[in-house]
Amino acid sequence: MTKDTTANITDDLVPVRASGAVEAEVDGELILLSPSDFSYFGAAGTGAPVWELVDGQRSVGGIVAELEAKYEAPEGVIRAETLEFIEALEAAGLVEPFGD
pLDDT tens-digit map of 34-87: 988 888 888 877 899 999 999 999 999 999 999 999 999 988 999 999 999 999
Query: Does residue 3 surpass a pLDDT of 80?
Result: no
- Report the predicted TM-score, pTM, of the whole model to 2 decimal places: 0.84
DSSP string, 33-91: E-TTT--EEE-TTTHHHHHHH-SSSS-HHHHHHHHHHHS--STTHHHHHHHHHHHHHHH
Q: What kind and span of H or E run contains 21?
A: none
Starting from the edge strand earliest in sequence, which strands make up the sheet with 40-42, in order? 22-26, 29-33, 40-42
Residue 36's pLDDT is 84
Q: Work out the pLDDT band at 11, boundaries 50, 70, 90.
A: very high
- Among the CATH numbers 2.40.10.10, 1.10.10.10, 3.30.43.10, 1.10.10.1150, which is that of 18-91? 1.10.10.1150
